[in-house]
Structure 1
Amino acid sequence: MKFSLSWLKDHLDTDADAAAVAETLTRIGLEVESVDNPAEALRPFTVARVLTAERHPQADKLQVLSVDIGDGEPLQVVCGAPNARAGMVGVFGGPGTYVPGSDFTLKKAAIRGVESNGMMCSARELQLGTDHDGIIELAADAPVGTSFADFAGLDDPIFDISITPNRQDCMGVRGIARDLAATGLGALKPLKVPAIEGSFDNPVAIRTDDPEGCPAFFGRTVRGISNGASPDWMQRRLVAAGQRPISALVDITNYVMIDLGRPAHAYDLSELTGAVSARRAREGETVLALNGKQYELDSSMTVIADEAQVHDIGGIMGGEHSGVSETTSETLLEIAYFTPENIARTGQKLQLTSDARSRFERGVDPAFLDDGLAVLTGLVLDICGGEASRVTRAGQLPVTPKRIAFEPSKAASLAGMEVAEAEQRAILQRLGFEFDGKDVVVPSWRRDIDGGADLVEEVTRIVGFDAIPSTPLPRASGVARPTATRGQLAERRVRRAAAARGLDEAITWSFIAEREAALFGGSAHALANPISEEMKHMRPSLLPGLVAAARRNADRGAASIRLFEVGRRYQADGERPTVGLLLAGDKRPRGWQSGKARPFNAFDAKAEALALLDAAGAPVASLQLSMGAGDAWHPGRSATLGLGKNMLAAFGELHPRIAKALDAPVGTMAAEIYLDAIPAPRSADRARPAFSPPLLQAVSRDFAFLVPENLSADTLIRAVRGADKVAITDARLFDRYEGEQGLSLAVEVRLQPGEKSFTEAEIAEIGKKVVAAAEKLGAQLRG
């Protein structure tokens, strides 16, 4: 939100400069984005008098001026403004001066063969308005040669502050002034509300047929008006706030919205038919809004309509048909209260934002309708003239006083700050709170205040968070115990291991589209107020987000994509800590390794999954592999790793249907590791055993088996490893060959002697056990 220092001082009696105001605003939670002074850009421009004006010899629409800039030596300037004439006083920019409205720097030039030493400037060229039909005309007694910025009083810093969603009261300059007054920076000036009784009955019937969406709707007619340009002071303030001046009536409604945080609307009475009401839109109704776009409405949306058509998307934007123009002589001024939740839903559906919506969906002051309409009417009468009717009020104001028990001791217990009770009361009273016995009555403009903790926050931010003393937490004697849980430690180890293996960490949204969630079994949780329809459901899998990240990388030319994410899946019974990883593109040799690039395959995903499972503390040596990982995976190129029925991970290639739906890069491989399924180690609560390296060198023996085609290598390895659990410490597959005899799997078996070396007879006996274990599975030792 933007406003100028002089505008702020209309409500705040203070001598503070811009720097002091900015520092105080940020200190109390109204973060200052920037402070700009338009005078700095306009200081090179000076007040100048046109001495003579002659027609350009080579152009009928140009004049050659002689301009006095106050240094005694007139300058020759070529000018195309129709109002340029001898004797007038205007604004001059010389060579080397930057013109902000046109974005160029002036220089001495020849225009149609005549030298020009600068230019006389229009309001638009100096960003002081939209007028570009002629140059600025100043009073005849304006001091020639002085800085135009100083003469025009443009030394008025402009603040741009960020308003958090809970501070609806600060969506107007007066609310910001109230906060500053509470800090002691100045005193809040009384708000001047004119008493306008009205001289005739309102000729327009007003009602609200949608008390849920628009509980209260006030209005009055003003006739005999002249809707010309708004005053210069108002235009300058609106420009400072980022608004474009349009006409007096429009500018007045915008000014009241920014000044008091109270949106309002002005209708051209001649364009209305019969009674005006706030009602629900009918299915299929449309409205052409003031932004020139047509919007289709539905029955959940509140509109302002007459007996012929819809004229306004209630609380968001007016319609073009009944908008005021320069010919408007009678206007209906509307000021209403719209339910914040209804405004937010309508704005999201229509994808329509506006200054009015940003205020109504936060919640404007429901008790300010009468005073707001009086201020609005007073400005219309002062600027446009005319005669006002009496006010028509429809509906009931949703004003229910909120009371909260005042407990001064909470400032110390909740905020760690000792603040005297008298000071707490004074701060709250300056913020508009009232006291009734032991209760605090919350002002109608603070719908964000719900309990005693909110009162503490108000006191604390006004006193200053930097005043909270730094107090160390009590520390127990002795050696500090670890605070991280087993799950947190596992996540840390997995994250480090994945990074060490060359995977890049991704952080994706926990919200996905319904169609994406449906691919992985559907979502158990839908958001009531999502960012968008594409981010409405909590993810049942990490893979949709990783696929989207991989696709973005592939679209930008990445040839080898290796991503992982440590996050949460959301199931019906709660959150599930999960690791997702994705491989796409080509597997390329890293570092000193040599070899050609090749596409990733399911075994690459398995290798990464096993490595991360090992880092997480899973008993990798005991894991069982089962073919097929579920409907989301390729039926012949995926598998699971688990302990019995407890599945710890799934890996492989995505199902072609899902890969196509997600637009996954060709050949994408993935894995998901379910950290919550990893069992706690049996020795988790016992001391770690002493390190005892073997005294003797290990022995390895190779076995080649002819196996049935349906026998998995994992099953064979597990059987071989279990043939002698004392002597055999490891077994691994090192070769696969398919020839005339059938399928052959070669296994390396590692034997570890204990107190003495193995004899040949002992090794032969262990070999017989290995062969016997394999034969039980239908395998035969290859000759």
Structure 2
Amino acid sequence: MKFTLSWLRDWLDTDADPQSIADKLTAIGLEVEGIHNPAEALAAFRVAKVLTAEKHPQADKLQVLTVDDGSGEAIQVVCGAPNARAGMLGVFGPPGAYIPGSDLTLKVAAIRGVESRGMMCSARELELGEDHDGIIELPDDAPVGTAYIDYAGLNDPVFDVNVTPNRPDCLGIDGIARDLAAAGIGRFRPRASAALPGGFEPDPKVIVESGSGCYVFWRRVIRDVRNGPSPDWLQQRLKAVGLRPISALVDITNFFSIDQARPLHVYDVKKLKGHITARRARAGERFMALNDKEYEATPDDCVIADESGAIGFGGVIGGESTGVDENTTDVLLECAWFDPAAIAATGRRHGIVTDARARFERGIDPMKLSSAIEDAAQMIVELCGGEASEPRISGEFPAEGYPNRDNVVPYRPARLAALAGIDLPVDEQRAILGRLEFLALDPKDGESWLNKGQQQELVEKYDPASYWFVRAPTWRPDVDGEADIVEEIARIHGFEDLPSTPLERGDGVARPTATRTQLMERRLRRTAAARGLDEAVTWSFVSEKEAAAFGGGDWRIANPISEDMKVMRPSLLPGLISAAQRNLNRGASSVRLFEIGRRYLGDSEHATLGLLLTGDRTSRDWQTGKAQDFDAYDAKAEVLALLDAAGAPTANLQVFPDAGPTWHPGRSATLRLGPKTIVASFGELHPRLVAEHDAPGGTVAAEIYTDAIPAQRSAGRARQAYSPPALQSVVRDFAFVVPSDVSADALVRAVRGADKASITSARVFDRYLPKDGDLSLAIEVTLQPGDKSFTEAEIADISRRIVAAAEKLGAQLRS
């Protein structure tokens, strides 16, 4: 929700500065994401007078001007605007000023041999409009030398507020102003609606069908309007909050959507075919919407239709066929109230996001219909001329359910201290509720806004000595119980005053303990960070396309935030790929990320650690001196280190080639405990996946399936004392010529199995493949003596057994 300071002051009488307003908004639960003043970019521009205008000696379409910018100096400017002339006032930019519309910074320059020390600017060059036929012309009374942003009233900060879904009233500036006034920032300025006399019955008629999703449809027809551009003040306000001015009629409806959270719609009466009906769509109905997209409605959608068929989704978007344009003379103004659930479902079903949908689906004030249509009709007549009809209403609100126009909440003032820890006198609580326009009634009062039957029913059910009856205003559909009343009082009083009170520990409560999974994740997190990986936290939701690329998504979101978040992730890699790409786009040369989270597969969620390496390695190639890319072995090294930290039996892991369709078929593998239990997958991503998802080139990744790591067997919780071997170990190297179908892992396992009692480790430390010859693998074997040192004969015997074990696989000791 965006609004300007001047627009806020239409509803709020305050002299508070922008930062104080922003601080108070955040304090009362309306988080300000930013304050931006577009006028700051135009601070250098001044109101200036053209003293002389002479033809350029070297160019027919240029003039040489002398300009007075209030400094007392005549400044020479070369200008190509056809309307530039002596005596006119305009906007001057001196050298050093940045021209946003042209994306250039002014400097002293020679233009066709004549020096120019600045620029007289057009509206488009300052991004104040589309006019570029000439420079801005100001009235004769514009003060020369004044900053243009002050003269034009452009110095108007824009607030960007994150409105939570439970506060539909704050999608209007009036609702934000009301909250600020209640919190002590200024005084709220209610706006009285004056009835606009009507001279005729509105035609066409409107029919609201039961069960359509539309309950109430107010309408007025205004004849003989002129739908030209809206006035500058209205265009300026809409552009400040990010809306594009279209025409006076459309701009008026957009104004009320921001001003009062009240969406409106206008139809060109002459384009309508017969009467209007709010109903459920019929199978196969299609219409072209105002966003230039065609939609096929479903029987679950509420549509506004005429005799030709559907002409728009009610409360979501209107149709192109009945939209207003510069030729519109008669307009029908709609001010309706729709079922919020139906609006939300239609918007999600068709992927339509509009300001109207955002407000209707959260629940707008049902009692603002009559005043809104009067205000809007009044503005249309003032800006576009014409004659208004009588206002007429079709349909009615449901007898029960939402909207509850008489929302009464039984409230105990003592609950404030119990729930929020704030001890406020009852008079102060009542005063805060009153400032928010909540009406708090003591049940013992004789006269009230409750009817006698309702009052008697509440008094019989709730103790009059303990309870108040609080009626929430109609623009607060989120207030439902005592806790909501407590929240309202606490936030206006000040969340910063809530005491920090620790919970009492009951007798016999054990000390907090962490589960095995939690302890494992802590070790993994510390180890990954110690190895130079940065932790990432990414969304658990992915798009259908991303889910399909990583095995398919079994868990679908019933109410997704967007099309890119419809499926619970089957892998952690999509989020890490996106995070890596963002880092590289912002100048990172090397990205090393990991994330600990959950994958969501058909049976359940699975604890997983994902890691990704891309960009330059810190080491450089010893031959070229250039930075090296990561490869699958880097990912494998990280996986083995992390598995070791997690307590996995890494010595028993087997490497199986080809990790599946997500991975490169020749540069990936899995680590398994036996043929079925996959503990980790690692390697390069599949080239097809890299291309489809714009993954960084040279990316390697891995996933460790932590829920597949077996629990460690331990006789007790105490850590065993460190007991190093008493005797020095012996290291021997062996080089084998290996057949092409024998993996390095199989060779290492065979070597280690040659003498399990004496061989404590074996690893490949070199790989040699000549241009014309067989593959050679060099293995380092560590022998550990027990109670006595090895003799030369014992070492020779173990060596023979190692060679024999390798030969069983077809390997031969290299000569």
TM-score by length of structure 1 reads 0.77
What's 1:752 paired with? 784
Please give the alpha-carbon distance, in whole angstroms, between the structure 1 residues aligned to 2:776 and 2:55: 103
> Residues 69 and 92 of structure 1 are in contact (CA less than 8 Å); yes or no, is this contact kept in structure 2?
no
Q: SS at 1:215's partner residue?
A: strand
Q: 1:507-522 alignment to 2 at 5 Å?
A: 509-518=539-548, 520-522=550-552
> Residues 91 and 120 of structure 2 are in contact (CA less than 8 Å); yes or no, is this contact kept in structure 1?
yes
Q: Evaluate the alpha carbon distance shift between residue 751 and residue 41 of structure 1 in structure 2; reply closer, same or farther with a 3 A threshold.
A: closer
Query: Which stretch shifts more, 333-342 or 588-597?
Result: 588-597
Q: 1:46-445 alignment to 2 at 5 Å?
A: 91-93=89-91, 96=94, 138=139, 147=146, 154=153, 157-166=156-165, 167-196=167-196, 198-209=198-209, 211-227=211-227, 230=230, 234-243=234-243, 245-281=245-281, 286-290=286-290, 293-299=292-298, 301-344=301-344, 346-347=346-347, 352-383=352-383, 384-396=385-397, 398-401=402-405, 402-435=407-440, 437=443, 438-445=468-475
Please give the alpha-carbon distance, in whole angstroms, between the structure 2 residues aligned to 1:588 and 1:17: 50
What's 2:492 paired with? 462
Please give the alpha-carbon distance, in whole angstroms, between the structure 2 residues aligned to 1:63 and 1:745: 82
Task: Identify the match of residue 524 of structure 1 among 554, 579, 604.
Answer: 554
Q: Evaluate the alpha carbon distance shift between residue 580 and residue 196 of structure 1 in structure 2; reply closer, same or farther with a 3 A threshold.
A: same
Task: Identify the match of residue 686 of structure 1 among 713, 717, 722.
Answer: 717
Q: Evaluate the alpha carbon distance shift between residue 24 and residue 553 of structure 1 in structure 2; reply closer, same or farther with a 3 A threshold.
A: closer
Please give the alpha-carbon distance, in whole angstroms, between the structure 2 residues aligned to 1:353 and 1:232: 27
Please give the alpha-carbon distance, in whole angstroms, between the structure 1 residues aligned to 2:41 and 2:80: 25
Q: 1:654-693 alignment to 2 at 5 Å?
A: 671-683=702-714, 685-693=716-724
Displacement of 1:273: 1.7
Task: Identify the match of residue 494 of structure 1 among 524, 528, 539.
Answer: 524
> Residues 578 and 675 of structure 1 are in contact (CA less than 8 Å); yes or no, is this contact kept in structure 2?
yes
Please give the alpha-carbon distance, in whole angstroms, between the structure 2 residues aligned to 1:766 and 1:70: 98
Displacement of 1:174: 0.8
Please give the alpha-carbon distance, in whole angstroms, between the structure 2 residues aligned to 1:556 and 1:44: 33
Task: Identify the match of residue 609 of structure 1 among 614, 623, 639.
Answer: 639
Q: Evaluate the alpha carbon distance shift between residue 107 and residue 337 of structure 1 in structure 2; reply closer, same or farther with a 3 A threshold.
A: same
> Residues 95 and 117 of structure 1 are in contact (CA less than 8 Å); yes or no, is this contact kept in structure 2?
no
> Residues 505 and 563 of structure 1 are in contact (CA less than 8 Å); yes or no, is this contact kept in structure 2?
yes
Query: Which stretch shifts more, 392-401 or 257-266?
Result: 392-401
Q: Evaluate the alpha carbon distance shift between residue 386 and residue 596 of structure 1 in structure 2; reply closer, same or farther with a 3 A threshold.
A: closer
Query: Which stretch shifts more, 23-32 or 712-721?
Result: 712-721
Please give the alpha-carbon distance, in whole angstroms, between the structure 2 residues aligned to 1:508 and 1:367: 42
Displacement of 1:525: 0.6
> Residues 507 and 565 of structure 1 are in contact (CA less than 8 Å); yes or no, is this contact kept in structure 2?
yes
Q: Evaluate the alpha carbon distance shift between residue 592 and residue 628 of structure 1 in structure 2; reply closer, same or farther with a 3 A threshold.
A: closer
> Residues 99 and 125 of structure 1 are in contact (CA less than 8 Å); yes or no, is this contact kept in structure 2?
no
> Residues 673 and 679 of structure 2 are in contact (CA less than 8 Å); yes or no, is this contact kept in structure 1?
yes
Please give the alpha-carbon distance, in whole angstroms, between the structure 1 residues aligned to 2:375 and 2:514: 59
Q: SS at 2:322's partner residue?
A: coil
Displacement of 1:686: 2.1
Displacement of 1:179: 0.7
Please give the alpha-carbon distance, in whole angstroms, between the structure 2 residues aligned to 1:259 and 1:268: 24
Please give the alpha-carbon distance, in whole angstroms, between the structure 1 residues aligned to 2:17 and 2:346: 41
Task: Identify the match of residue 620 of structure 1 among 650, 675, 696.
Answer: 650
Q: SS at 1:367's partner residue?
A: helix
> Residues 129 and 239 of structure 1 are in contact (CA less than 8 Å); yes or no, is this contact kept in structure 2?
no
Amino acid across the alignment from 1:641: R
> Residues 94 and 107 of structure 1 are in contact (CA less than 8 Å); yes or no, is this contact kept in structure 2?
no
Amino acid across the alignment from 1:429: G
Q: Evaluate the alpha carbon distance shift between residue 491 and residue 564 of structure 1 in structure 2; reply closer, same or farther with a 3 A threshold.
A: same
Please give the alpha-carbon distance, in whole angstroms, between the structure 2 residues aligned to 1:507 and 1:757: 52
Please give the alpha-carbon distance, in whole angstroms, between the structure 2 residues aligned to 1:8 and 1:116: 42
Q: Evaluate the alpha carbon distance shift between residue 329 and residue 82 of structure 1 in structure 2; reply closer, same or farther with a 3 A threshold.
A: farther
Query: Which stretch shifts more, 402-411 or 162-171?
Result: 402-411
Q: Flag structure 2 segments of 5+ consecutive residues without an equivalent.
A: 444-467
Amino acid across the alignment from 1:274: G
> Residues 93 and 106 of structure 1 are in contact (CA less than 8 Å); yes or no, is this contact kept in structure 2?
no
> Residues 220 and 389 of structure 2 are in contact (CA less than 8 Å); yes or no, is this contact kept in structure 1?
yes
Q: Evaluate the alpha carbon distance shift between residue 616 and residue 72 of structure 1 in structure 2; reply closer, same or farther with a 3 A threshold.
A: closer
Cα deviation digits, residues 181-229 of structure 1 (max 9, x gap): 1112233233312234644322211123484543332212123445456
Please give the alpha-carbon distance, in whole angstroms, between the structure 2 residues aligned to 1:666 and 1:52: 61
Cα deviation digits, residues 620-660 of structure 1 (max 9, x gap): 22335567756766888744421686442344677888788
1:33 and 2:34 correspond: yes
| RMSD (Å) for aligned C-alpha atoms | 5.9
Please give the alpha-carbon distance, in whole angstroms, between the structure 1 residues aligned to 2:38 and 2:686: 60
Q: SS at 2:598's partner residue?
A: strand
Q: SS at 1:427's partner residue?
A: helix
> Residues 512 and 534 of structure 1 are in contact (CA less than 8 Å); yes or no, is this contact kept in structure 2?
yes
Percent of residue pairs bearing the same amino acid type: 53
Please give the alpha-carbon distance, in whole angstroms, between the structure 2 residues aligned to 1:119 and 1:777: 83
Please give the alpha-carbon distance, in whole angstroms, between the structure 2 residues aligned to 1:681 and 1:11: 67
Q: 1:445-460 alignment to 2 at 5 Å?
A: 445-460=475-490
Please give the alpha-carbon distance, in whole angstroms, between the structure 1 residues aligned to 2:615 and 2:144: 70
Amino acid across the alignment from 1:688: R
Cα deviation digits, residues 534-573 of structure 1 (max 9, x gap): 5422222334555677889999999998765433211344
1:566 and 2:596 correspond: yes
Query: Which stretch shifts more, 495-504 or 219-228?
Result: 495-504
Please give the alpha-carbon distance, in whole angstroms, between the structure 1 residues aligned to 2:583 and 2:397: 56
> Residues 286 and 294 of structure 1 are in contact (CA less than 8 Å); yes or no, is this contact kept in structure 2?
no
1:697 and 2:745 correspond: no
> Residues 220 and 392 of structure 2 are in contact (CA less than 8 Å); yes or no, is this contact kept in structure 1?
yes
Amino acid across the alignment from 2:162: I
> Residues 128 and 239 of structure 1 are in contact (CA less than 8 Å); yes or no, is this contact kept in structure 2?
no
Displacement of 1:332: 0.7
Please give the alpha-carbon distance, in whole angstroms, between the structure 1 residues aligned to 2:143 and 2:764: 96
Query: Which stretch shifts more, 8-17 or 123-132?
Result: 123-132
> Residues 46 and 93 of structure 2 are in contact (CA less than 8 Å); yes or no, is this contact kept in structure 1?
no
Task: Identify the match of residue 575 of structure 1 among 589, 605, 608.
Answer: 605
Displacement of 1:474: 7.5
Q: SS at 2:366's partner residue?
A: coil
Q: SS at 2:712's partner residue?
A: coil
Please give the alpha-carbon distance, in whole angstroms, between the structure 2 residues aligned to 1:151 and 1:582: 52
Displacement of 1:44: 6.4
Please give the alpha-carbon distance, in whole angstroms, between the structure 1 residues aligned to 2:142 and 2:616: 75
Amino acid across the alignment from 1:679: P
